[in-house]
Amino acid sequence: MSEGNTNKINLILDFNNFAMRSMFTCNFMDPTIKINNFDTDEECRMLVEKILLDMCKVVRMFSPKRVIVSCDSKLPWRNDLYKDIDGETYKGTRIKDEKKNWKKIYATLDELRDILKDKGFIVTLIDRTEADDITTMWKEYLFSVGEDVVIVSSDMDWVQLVGMNKTGNVCVCFNPIANNKGRKHLYMDESIQEWLNQKDTTDIFFRNYNLTRATINKLPTIDVKVDFDVVDPKKVLLNKIMAGDRSDNVPAFWHYYRNGKKQSVTELKASHVFESLGISTLDDLIKANDDRLLKDALEKEMKQDIDLDFKERMERQRKLVELNSSLFPKKIVKAFAGMVDEAMNQCSVNTSSVRSDEILNGTKYAIKKAPEGRLNSVFDDIDMLGKFSSPSNKLFE
């Protein structure tokens, strides 16, 4: 078998993203059970079942070599960067529903992670580390050993990781949650779009056949609701550094008050600065900052003198938004390096036919027979051959 024909796809699942989404949709699993605040064992069992149904469907779509589960830890290290930001906390704008039984929910998710690990999933949890940091380190490592990455999350922060390296390994990001038009999205940059459009010239031994390219190109035939979207990860990062990120409560590069109203650097204002200085990459931005050109251009755009240590502010903004392990605490990077070799040999999931009932068999979350009228998943009903099947009341295909 040629090198291009081997399976190099590593699927990285955003565990907390799946869990939080499932909390809002598992009410559709069984019309006979009304889920309120996850106070009961049955409600939590439904949550586990829903998370796994959606995970397994995505795994079957890509049939990867490995399945990696990235998990969020408590008290992420970026909280420390807010000590000098008065009255703000990292992700402090996110409102938690206090009616829900979070203690029971978190205990349930802990148990699910243990089950996944026992079943051959690579479950990665590092103290004070977010899932996107873990995914970043996995992507960097997998690229270094010549493998490809498919990230699965609806978190748009992760699209800054898409791209292709010099040796031709690719990273794409798949959002399996349909938008209000019923569309799901696979994100890539221009280099990957060009690569996908290339034709494999193969012989009887399938030399030059690229399995990753074939798998990605096949997605719209498996699910016609999947759209391919081209993004510019460099622009995504630049905008976050200068304009911040409201969803994570990341402040803009700079703000001031005029007539009692907060005036911040916006994406539009940042684009004007980038255009005036010819900035299109992070390196361009850093150089403009070092040369004090950024300060002059930003003052002109904001129509205000800026008394600020630009070098220190650039470092803060990059640590808050940039997914790059060189910016992470050394303790976290060391912890990842200490577990990665063992983890690489751990995955033993049958990714072409993985099913949630088999994963949960023998646990207290074992799936019961589906009652009449039960819905399958928020995802489309896809059979093992990759063809469409009509909606059914069956729980598993």
Q: Are residues 148 and 266 in the same domain?
A: no
CA 260 from centre of chain = 38
Q: Are residues 226 and 281 in the same domain?
A: no
- The answer to whether 296 and 321 are in contact (CB under 8 A) is no
Q: Are residues 9 and 66 in the same domain?
A: yes
Q: Are residues 215 and 269 in the same domain?
A: no
Q: Are residues 42 and 101 in the same domain?
A: yes
Q: Are residues 260 and 312 in the same domain?
A: yes
Q: Are residues 151 and 278 in the same domain?
A: no
Q: Is the pLDDT of residue 52 over 80?
A: yes
Q: Are residues 340 and 215 in the same domain?
A: yes
At 91 the pLDDT is 61
At 258 the pLDDT is 87
Q: Is residue 328 part of a domain?
A: yes
Where does the pLDDT of residue 270 fall: very low under 50, low under 70, confident under 90, or very high at 90 and above? very high
Q: Is the pLDDT of residue 252 over 60?
A: yes
> Mean pLDDT in the chain?
87
- The answer to whether 397 and 381 are in contact (CB under 8 A) is yes
Higher per-residue pLDDT: 87 or 146: 146
Q: Is residue 351 part of a domain?
A: no
Segment among 112-126, 248-262, 277-291, 303-317 with least mean pLDDT = 248-262
* 381, two tokens: 């009903």
Q: Are residues 150 and 162 in the same domain?
A: yes
- The answer to whether 204 and 178 are in contact (CB under 8 A) is no
Amino acid sitting at position 176: P
Q: Is the pLDDT of residue 239 over 80?
A: yes
* 125, two tokens: 């949890």
Q: Is residue 118 part of a domain?
A: yes
Higher per-residue pLDDT: 396 or 324: 324
Mean pLDDT of 279-283: 97
In this structure, are strands 170-175 and 184-188 parallel, antiparallel, or unpaired?
antiparallel
Segment among 172-176, 197-201, 366-370 with least mean pLDDT = 366-370
CA 55 from centre of chain = 13
Q: Is residue 68 part of a domain?
A: yes
Q: Is the pLDDT of residue 33 over 90?
A: no
Domain encompassing residue 302: 235-321
Q: Is residue 384 part of a domain?
A: no
* 170, two tokens: 């690719």
Q: Is residue 174 part of a domain?
A: yes
Q: Is the pLDDT of residue 205 over 60?
A: no
Where does the pLDDT of residue 35 fall: very low under 50, low under 70, confident under 90, or very high at 90 and above? confident
Q: Are residues 108 and 34 in the same domain?
A: yes
Question: pLDDT digit string (tens) for 302-331?
Answer: 999 999 999 999 999 999 999 999 999 999
Q: Is the pLDDT of residue 380 over 50?
A: no
At 397 the pLDDT is 31
Mean pLDDT of 243-255: 91
Q: Is residue 244 part of a domain?
A: yes
Q: How wide is the angle at C-alpha 10 spanned by C-alphas 6 and 13, nearest 5°?
A: 155
At 146 the pLDDT is 97
Number of domains in the chain: 2
Amino acid sitting at position 361: N
Q: How wide is the angle at C-alpha 186 spanned by C-alphas 154 and 265, nearest 5°?
A: 60
CATH number at residue 335: 3.40.50.1010
Q: Is the pLDDT of residue 129 over 90?
A: yes
Q: Is the pLDDT of residue 94 over 70?
A: no
Q: Are residues 227 and 216 in the same domain?
A: yes
Question: pLDDT digit string (tens) for 132-189?
Answer: 999 999 999 999 999 999 999 999 889 999 999 999 999 999 999 988 889 999 999 9
At 203 the pLDDT is 55
Q: Is residue 166 part of a domain?
A: yes
Q: Is the pLDDT of residue 366 over 50?
A: yes
At 381 the pLDDT is 41
Q: Are residues 131 and 263 in the same domain?
A: no
